[in-house]
Structure 1
Amino acid sequence: MSVNSRRLLWMLAAIWMLAMVIGYAALHLPWVDAASIVLLPVSERPAVGPALASVLLQAAAVVLLVLVGGGTGFLIVRGLEWLSGLETAAIQWVIGLGVVSALITIAGLTVGFPSRLLGWLLTLAAAAALNQPIRRWAVQLVEGLRLATRPPDEPFFRWVRVGVLALPLLALTMTLVPPTAWDALTYHIEAPRYYLEAGRIVANHPNHFLGFPQYTQMLFGWLMLLGGDSAPALLHWAAGVSIGLLVVGFAHRLDHANAGWIACGILLASESFWLEMTIPYNDLFLGACVLGAVIIVLGASDGRQVAWAGVLTGLAVATKYTAAGFAVAMALLTVWIFRRRRPLHTVTLLTAAALLAFAPWAIKNILLDGNPFSPLLFGTPGFSDLDAWYYLRPGTGEPLWLLVLLPIRLTVFASEGSAYQVAVGALVFTLLPLAALLWSRWSERDQHLIRALLVFSVPAYLYWLVGAGVSWFLTQPRLLFPLFPILALIGGLVVETAGTAARLPAGERLVRPLVAVVLLWAAADSAVTWLAINPLPVTVGLEREDDYLLRRMGVHYAAMQTVRDLPDGAVTLTLWEPRVYYCGNGCTPDSMINQWWHDRERFGDPAAIAAQWRAEGITHILVHEAGLVFLLEEEPFDPLDAADIAALDQLREQHMTLIWDAFGFAYRLYELDPAR
């Protein structure tokens, strides 16, 4: 390639980077949450002592579970000595926790859950029995950290490392607050709460989410048994750290230590990735499983080693069904890596190990719902064909020209409050095209590495893209989360290499300054978010939990308090509200947000619907009015129509009595009138 051609391409690359970064910055201003900042919310009767005791108890529970997971993994995972200490420790931890989660599932299905005291005794006994493996696992981890954290020579990379270490610590301070995240209150901690309340794992057909794989939910449930409902977020934070360990350890082993730290910075510059480290979700566990499996396959020398990648793949699917696309990509990567060394045999071992790892949760679903993939494919008593159609609404996908532009749209327009529900960050996709311009500077080994990462990433991305073309509801970039660390590694290699040539094109000189600006922007955004949430007062007991929840969730928590105050025996059905964690077992959730449409399709007449609800034992109806308005005015493909709204008004007038009203536009609570 001529010098002029290279300069032109770098000029175009500079325009591309500037457009993406400026577009992102314009729509992701860090100070937009400033109005919600409350500097020192102090309750009238602070309870510092009990709050600190609760924090210590929950932190101790998480530390114990982390150690038991690491010790268990160290005991059983063998044959991966060629990995770095950080990679090995993280992979052993994820697999060890998978074993612990499977044991909790088996216990919950058979003998039930123990008391808190017995749970502590069992956990302490497990830690004592695993004393030597835990020690050796911890030594391996510490030694890996020592090697990977040697200070770099260049100031740019030193400052990147400071940011990479600081942002997770900031997130850590936000983990031990009362949970408020949407999916957490819908099922991530609602499922274990329901099981613990029942004393064992039982079916809950009205909440279809309880059929989803529960690798993480079982761990969350054990922590809630030991300490409380803030501990799961701390464990999810640890899962985010494990992704960082895998990225840094992998890059360091391949003599690209700076690229590993840059990759972590790219991930943390994604607002949603950073926020996920503060809440009890499962995406970071999924990301750790997928990244660990890819790392093993890339360096494995035989099928026995690949089997551990299969275990991680199975645990990924046991975390989230949407990992099926990554499982397919993993099989393709395995075939490509072993294309000259018995590929069919190796991919068979990968598949068998994955099925074995997934089996405990498939068996649980068979026992409770008669469907190993509950609630999908074969349905459940609470998930009909109507629900299956509503869940995906096939035919609502995006046209091809919009699908092609998705990386740009996700970078610039996606945010936590948008229809995408995720902020991807300015760098995940932006840096990828620059790899083509730097290709000739990489060694043959590095080129092979990037090819292999693309062999995995492209099929996984296309799998998601096909889904987005079929259904608008599969366009969520959160489904791509496991791909972000792999794309970030490519971006890290780009940033590490850019600026190393003797004579730099002007466009190439922009790479590192733009990355620095984005990382500073992300740090400012995270700081403003931290100030808006202000987690420390409630953590140390200066702010009461109820006051914090009212401050953070407003009228939703007020509605949950009102429902909890209903007489004993009251059963409340929610409409357009799936979050029932703070309501407890007195609530039947509208988990699909389609209860009214579903019952209209089945029974039609409001009187028949009211009669059906009475037959199910429903005594009260909580209508999330704001949720209904959102579906009618913002949701592009909801099937509700004017006849459905007229029927709802008829139901309100003829079969229900209003007993509580939150401003007329947020929530209304009705008592279901007795049969006439």
Structure 2
Amino acid sequence: MVGLYRPDVAVVTLSIGLGLAGLAFGRARVSLRLADRPDDLFTRLAFASVVLPVTLAAVAALAPPTAKDTLQYHIALPKAWLAVGALVDVPYNIPGLRALGAEMSGVWGMLLGRLLSPRAGEAAFGAAMFAYFPLLLAVVHGWARERGLGRGPALTAAALVASAPVAWEVAGASYVDLALALYVVLAFRAAARWSTGGGRAALAELALALGFALSVKPLAAAALVLLALLVLLRARRAHGQRDGARLATAGVAALALGVLIGSPWYLRTWLLTGSPLFPFFPGLWPGEALGWDETRAVLFQAFNAQYGGDPKGPLDYLLLPVRLALMGRRDVPLEWESVCGPAFLAGTPLVALALWRRQLDAELGIAAAGGAWLFAWWALSAQVLRYLLPATALWALVVAGAAAALADNARVLSRALLMATLGGQLVILAWFVGDDPLRVALGTEPRDAYLTRRLDYYPYYRLINETLPTDATVWLIDVRRDTYHLERPYVGDYLFEDYTLRRWVAEAGSAAELRARARAAGITHLLVRHDVLFDPARSVLVDDSRPDAENRARLARARAFLVDEARVLRADQKFLLAALP
């Protein structure tokens, strides 16, 4: 906000971070001594099951970004901020009005990388966002070791997370959900330590982890609810009313401090929109922003409801764990937009049995409660699979702990769990081979060639960047509004990308009126996906409640505006780029 997004500031920030890391390692008295005995085959396989997905995700993260949300805001917003050197509001970019704490890591990475080249800055952003993946796995492994699990079973817990295709996809796509999972797991670890007798240090860790989680996404509020309940339960178990009041005060103060740490993002949202919850819960606390209105808020709720299928009945919720294990498809909202794999379902009976026999210690019990609570919250809200990552990380720890508690030899069940991760590993490998990010990451494939085969509209973006004048303004219609790779001014609706066109076509009496509206908005060119727009069976311009003649007239007006009376610069069976006369 004060113009400090500069390379020199990034270098100073990195130096401070490295210095603090050195102090932390020094205080921890890290020892690099060898293990008392060499790892057996099982432990080495568990280690390989962690290293393989992490390595493949690292390669994917270094490739030019192609993931939808990343191109819309995760990296598009930092690019806009660095262009002016400050955190600014980007018009029409609705996610830019929400918490964006994790993206800040990518901002500093991009600044440092740009000291070498723009491509290096892009790769550095991906590397910074990828770093949350190995950090999360290290926390899961470390917590498992703290609970007495051997190296092999602890690595199995990490492998359960690493082998989930959704985790690999998020790590390589520069999404922020692994950052949220990391901080939520750290918050539950701190709460578990405090609940089992920990002191002020655990409360300090709880406050920091909760604050950082809230700064990543509002979804952290789900964890806050259970963390508050854990604080009250610890206070209730205290010896005496005075001791209980003291514990309750300390716990609530830690949670309040965590909320305070995460609050600047929500205060910013409040100032910009009139609601700290924007764009969620419009009925509870409505907000306003350029490019957003009440109708789109209702459409947004319906959009989120489609994940996992809509409508959902009792049987759908009952079978949800089984469906998650056996189904799931990449980029298909009805099937959660990604893949979880069968490993977590295979481990769930072990957790149930260990809980029934009371063989899980208190900390693992709290982790189990956290995982179950976050799963229930997710099931009743937007079932986007990557939002489930905090629960999966906690559940992986509990599954490994249950396997160790139930078997005389912890390695027996851990081996079975490790075998269950094979399906996820194969899916990850198939996705990696299909995406083929290795060549571009190594520099043997040109960036434009990689983006052309990954993004079907990219040749049009390249044409816009290379041929249109710098003062041209392009209206993006049904092309995902992925603005990171676009180097010209643009307008476009977020998420509902044909909303304005649909409204204008319904209100306007002719193509000339549509053209006048576009010109008044400063639009000079149009990039539209026309194959769906002009198909009467699929077009959003067709209103089934209106007469057929009116719908045909709407399609004719739109075609005249976009094609017949515009100068077509390039077109194919799917996209069209035209200049307004």
TM bracket (short chain) = 0.7 to 0.9
Distance 1:623 1:250, change over 3 A: same
In structure 1, what is the Cα distance between the partners aligned to 2:213 and 2:129?
Answer: 15
Contact 2:149 2:401 (8 Å CA) reproduced: yes
Per-residue displacement from partner, 1:16-73 (whole Å, max 9, x unpaired)? xxxxxxxxxxxxxxxxxxxxxxxxxxxxxxxxxxxxxxxxxxxxxxxxxxxxxxxxxx
Distance 1:659 1:199, change over 3 A: farther
Report the Cα offset of residue 404 of structure 1: 1.9
1:542 paired residue number: 444
Which letter maps to 1:267? V
Per-residue displacement from partner, 1:271-324 (whole Å, max 9, x unpaired)? 111222222110111011100000000002346632431332222121112222
User: Equivalent of 1:379, from 288, 300, 303?
Assistant: 288
2:517 paired residue number: 612
1:253 paired residue number: 146
1:561 equivalent in alignment to 2:458: no
Contact 1:308 1:353 (8 Å CA) reproduced: no
Partner SS, residue 343 of structure 2: coil
Which letter maps to 2:327? F
Write the mapping of 1:454-465 to structure 2, written as runs, cut at 5 A. 454-465=368-379
Contact 1:415 1:424 (8 Å CA) reproduced: no
Partner SS, residue 581 of structure 1: coil
Contact 2:269 2:275 (8 Å CA) reproduced: yes
User: Equivalent of 1:424, from 340, 353, 367?
Assistant: 340
Report the Cα offset of residue 460 of structure 1: 2.4
Report the Cα offset of residue 453 of structure 1: 2.1
1:448 equivalent in alignment to 2:362: yes
User: Equivalent of 1:199, from 65, 68, 85?
Assistant: 85
User: Equivalent of 2:20, from 117, 128, 133?
Assistant: 133
Per-residue displacement from partner, 1:176-216 (whole Å, max 9, x unpaired)? 11111111101100111122223322222311111121112
Report the Cα offset of residue 266 of structure 1: 0.9
Show structure 2 runs of 5+ residues with no match: 114-120, 238-243, 281-285
1:573 paired residue number: 475
Distance 1:625 1:399, change over 3 A: farther
1:244 paired residue number: 137
Distance 1:422 1:199, change over 3 A: same
In structure 1, what is the Cα distance between the partners aligned to 2:92 and 2:537?
Answer: 23
Write the mapping of 1:63-212 to structure 2, written as runs, cut at 5 A. 109-114=1-6, 119=7, 121-128=8-15, 132-139=19-26, 143=30, 155-212=41-98
Report the Cα offset of residue 151 of structure 1: 6.2
In structure 1, what is the Cα distance between the partners aligned to 2:201 and 2:418?
Answer: 42
Distance 1:527 1:462, change over 3 A: closer
1:357 equivalent in alignment to 2:266: no
Which letter maps to 1:308? E
Partner SS, residue 543 of structure 1: coil
Distance 1:180 1:501, change over 3 A: closer
Write the mapping of 1:398-437 to structure 2, written as runs, cut at 5 A. 398-419=312-333, 420-437=336-353
1:390 paired residue number: 299
Which letter maps to 1:247? V
In structure 1, what is the Cα distance between the partners aligned to 2:43 and 2:508?
Answer: 66
1:482 paired residue number: 390
2:221 paired residue number: 324
Moved more, 381-390 or 219-228: 219-228
2:164 paired residue number: 270
In structure 2, what is the Cα distance between the partners aligned to 1:378 and 1:496?
Answer: 50
Contact 1:213 1:321 (8 Å CA) reproduced: yes
Distance 1:594 1:178, change over 3 A: closer
Distance 1:625 1:518, change over 3 A: farther
Partner SS, residue 576 of structure 2: strand
Write the mapping of 1:654-669 to structure 2, written as runs, cut at 5 A. 654=561, 656-657=565-566, 659-664=568-573, 666-669=574-577
Report the Cα offset of residue 543 of structure 1: 1.6
Higher relative contact order (CA 8 A, sep 6+): 1
Distance 1:193 1:402, change over 3 A: same
In structure 2, what is the Cα distance between the partners aligned to 1:648 and 1:606?
Answer: 12
Report the Cα offset of residue 255 of structure 1: 0.7
2:529 paired residue number: 624
Partner SS, residue 230 of structure 1: helix
Distance 1:447 1:126, change over 3 A: closer
1:650 equivalent in alignment to 2:557: yes
Which letter maps to 1:389? V
In structure 1, what is the Cα distance between the partners aligned to 2:347 and 2:475?
Answer: 48
Partner SS, residue 229 of structure 1: helix
Which letter maps to 1:313? L
Distance 1:432 1:372, change over 3 A: same
Partner SS, residue 203 of structure 1: coil
Contact 2:329 2:339 (8 Å CA) reproduced: yes
In structure 2, what is the Cα distance between the partners aligned to 1:314 and 1:428?
Answer: 28
2:116 paired residue number: none
Output the TM-score relative to the length of structure 1: 0.72
Report the Cα offset of residue 439 of structure 1: 4.5
Contact 1:369 1:381 (8 Å CA) reproduced: no
1:589 paired residue number: 492
In structure 1, what is the Cα distance between the partners aligned to 2:409 and 2:535?
Answer: 53
2:206 paired residue number: 309
Partner SS, residue 578 of structure 2: strand
In structure 2, what is the Cα distance between the partners aligned to 1:630 and 1:522?
Answer: 38
**Paired positions, count:** 540
* CA-based RMSD: 3.3
In structure 2, what is the Cα distance between the partners aligned to 1:345 and 1:591?
Answer: 43
Contact 2:525 2:579 (8 Å CA) reproduced: yes
Distance 1:606 1:171, change over 3 A: farther
Distance 1:175 1:388, change over 3 A: same
Contact 1:287 1:485 (8 Å CA) reproduced: yes
Distance 1:190 1:632, change over 3 A: farther
Output the TM-score relative to the length of structure 2: 0.83
2:240 paired residue number: none
In structure 2, what is the Cα distance between the partners aligned to 1:186 and 1:540?
Answer: 25
Show structure 1 runs of 5+ residues with no match: 1-108, 468-473, 503-507
In structure 1, what is the Cα distance between the partners aligned to 2:107 and 2:535?
Answer: 32
Distance 1:657 1:413, change over 3 A: same
Distance 1:281 1:614, change over 3 A: same
Distance 1:639 1:283, change over 3 A: farther
Partner SS, residue 30 of structure 2: helix
Distance 1:152 1:380, change over 3 A: farther
2:283 paired residue number: none
Report the Cα offset of residue 379 of structure 1: 2.7
Contact 2:343 2:421 (8 Å CA) reproduced: no
Contact 1:259 1:489 (8 Å CA) reproduced: no
Distance 1:657 1:601, change over 3 A: closer
Distance 1:166 1:180, change over 3 A: same
In structure 1, what is the Cα distance between the partners aligned to 2:518 and 2:277?
Answer: 28
Write the mapping of 1:462-473 to structure 2, written as runs, cut at 5 A. 462-467=376-381
1:8 paired residue number: none
Partner SS, residue 458 of structure 1: helix
Contact 2:184 2:223 (8 Å CA) reproduced: yes
Contact 1:303 1:349 (8 Å CA) reproduced: no
Partner SS, residue 352 of structure 1: helix
2:249 paired residue number: 345
Which letter maps to 1:123? A
